[in-house]
Structure 1
């Protein structure tokens, strides 16, 4: 039986403000608060809330037959917490239906998987903890930023304990193979791979409202008919996109939500179900390994990482940022860590791209890639100066780690002693006001006096000595 795995990404960039060279060292706040509030409120009103309400209707109308998955970046959740908490409340309401799964991804929505394994692992762990706090369950399937994947990244995901991972069904990777099967990582056979159907996903997220497209207008019944016509053995249909496609990329006036809401009923008529990524990973066996020696993603025609690291400007900024990754991980300073999350976001590097794209790129305050690079590097210069001021560059990572470990141990000891002092002060105060008296020492026990031997005991002892003497005399006589 065919099943559809429907997944939506929710991420919101933290916009950087205009930051000039002369601000370095004097201004340590890097963000455009007005633009952050304006954009997240606009997207929540025009896309997130209408789309989530529609998904809620689909669950109410279809019950357990309809299921859907989401992944939320940690930095995106922070924006929602501050400016659009109703989105998170709606997601919690959907979670209570039991028809929704939340996936893991890097907290920063960054590119740490391409730079530093330890940083990537901590980035994912931090997001998993936040997801568990909100929705009560730790994710078991990983989705990397922009579906970035390679054999090495898959092996690391398996080492972190994930059952499966989502990635792109790119033609240059699949070759003659179909994305409608479950595969596994070539370096970690226990990690299942779910591959995005590029055409079916982009028909909704990119082309739905394009009147010049040959498939326009797209109807739910014809869309499901295409899925039903796939060969019988092709059972897994993965449709992945950003949630903002419903309302932003494809405006609500295009009837995109009516199309989405009609999918479950049309699928049911064809005997097609909906499943979450974890359900598929648990129930469906892999048909074989997928070799991905080079990194792929779901962005642009090349389906690689050239949108973020394709030119010298991007690589310079990327290498400069992650040059302090080990020190930040060792130091673990809360204030620095928050800026670190925001500066890692992949959008910062996408603004520097010089390649053409079939998807419109809004650079915001930047006039072009060099402007984006200059602004980002000014901010990064101040950020790294702050790191070096706290932990001088002359101290190598091993020495810094040892020093901070000693400081933390001393801090723990001080905390313990402070608690003990406070406890003794409280106890002393109780003794002084008479509400509690020291416990009296127990009296020393006297050794029991020896009882005088009774006559019966004395007689028995005398008789025993006489018997012993007779035996000794008998033995002496017999020897002679």
Structure 2
């Protein structure tokens, strides 16, 4: 039986107001708070709350054998605290099952890793502390913004207390290799790399509701047949996607 790693990204940015040059120094309303609130509430009630409830029921009904991982950016956590705090309560209920792992990332969902090591370290530490303070869990696995990875990141992440990294599986890097294995970071073998299976992840995240897709409508049995067709020695399947895939990009009824 293959091991399936389910990872969901939960993120909302702070959206900017239309801010003109002439407002500099006289108006500090940089962010569109009304838009931030309205979008977050819509996503919360269409996705976060119903699917957190569904996951909780599935975890309980499977005898706590179903396990998933989430990465919650600091920006979405801050907005949830302001506008829909009950969503954080629903994530706490999931974490309390012992079947949900929370990942580390940069606090601002930023590209600090490719700009400044100092800033990168500070943001990762800030996010780690926030996750621990709110959920009582210390992240052990790291995911960088948009699953960006370079070998230079691995020793930094290891120094910050992480032992594994989620990353995208670029075809130009993997070439003939399969993403369905655990890899070690070059130069830092203590850090394990879990690579996204892009084809099977995106079949759910993007193509599932595409009526022009030749495989539409995708049934559970057909999807399982694709999983079973993976060579037997490839025992790890990493399905990474945005949490808004459910209830956001695809309607709840689908």
TM-score per shorter chain, which class? over 0.9
Distance 1:55 1:170 in 2: 30
Equivalent in the alignment of 2:10: 10
Equivalent in the alignment of 1:229: 229
SS in 1 for 2:162: coil
Residues 227-286 of structure 1: CA deviation (Å, up to 9, x unaligned): 122111100000000101101111113x2xxxxxxxxxxxxxxxxxxxxxxxxxxxxxxx
Equivalent in the alignment of 2:99: 99
Compare relative contact order (CA 8 Å, sep 6+) and give the higher one, 1 or 2: 2
Equivalence map 1:297-316=2 (5 Å): none
Equivalent in the alignment of 2:154: 154
Distance 2:220 2:130 in 1: 35
Distance 1:49 1:145 in 2: 24
Equivalent in the alignment of 1:88: 88
Contact 1:14 1:75 in 2 (8 A): yes
Equivalence map 1:34-113=2 (5 Å): 34-113=34-113
Distance 2:137 2:252 in 1: 32
Distance 1:63 1:89 in 2: 22
SS in 2 for 1:65: coil
Alpha-carbon distance, 1:176 to partner = 0.3
Runs of 4+ in structure 1 over 6 Å off: none
Equivalent in the alignment of 1:192: 192
Distance 2:40 2:64 in 1: 31
Alpha-carbon distance, 1:123 to partner = 0.2
Equivalence map 1:360-399=2 (5 Å): none
Residues 162-185 of structure 1: CA deviation (Å, up to 9, x unaligned): 100000122111100000000011
Alpha-carbon distance, 1:64 to partner = 2.5
Residues 185-235 of structure 1: CA deviation (Å, up to 9, x unaligned): 112111000000001100001011111101111111221221122111100
SS in 1 for 2:189: coil
Unaligned runs of 5+ in 1: 256-480
Distance 2:235 2:186 in 1: 22
Equivalent in the alignment of 2:135: 135
Equivalent in the alignment of 1:252: 252
Larger Rg: 1
Distance 2:106 2:33 in 1: 23
Distance 1:243 1:214 in 2: 24
Contact 1:7 1:240 in 2 (8 A): yes
Contact 1:73 1:106 in 2 (8 A): yes
Contact 1:181 1:234 in 2 (8 A): yes
SS in 2 for 1:215: coil
Distance 1:18 1:79 in 2: 20
| 1:25 matches 2:1 | no
Equivalent in the alignment of 1:381: none
If the length of structure 1 is used for normalisation, what is the TM-score?
0.52
Contact 1:170 1:198 in 2 (8 A): no
Distance 1:76 1:9 in 2: 11
Distance 2:197 2:123 in 1: 27
Alpha-carbon distance, 1:161 to partner = 2.1
Instruction: Give me the CA root mean square deviation.
Output: 1.0
Distance 2:193 2:86 in 1: 33
Which structure shows the higher strand fraction? 2
Contact 1:71 1:105 in 2 (8 A): yes
Distance 1:224 1:125 in 2: 39
Which structure shows the higher helix fraction? 1
Equivalent in the alignment of 1:314: none
Distance 2:154 2:45 in 1: 36
Distance 1:139 1:63 in 2: 24
SS in 2 for 1:90: helix
Distance 2:119 2:250 in 1: 35
Equivalent in the alignment of 2:168: 168
Unaligned runs of 5+ in 2: none
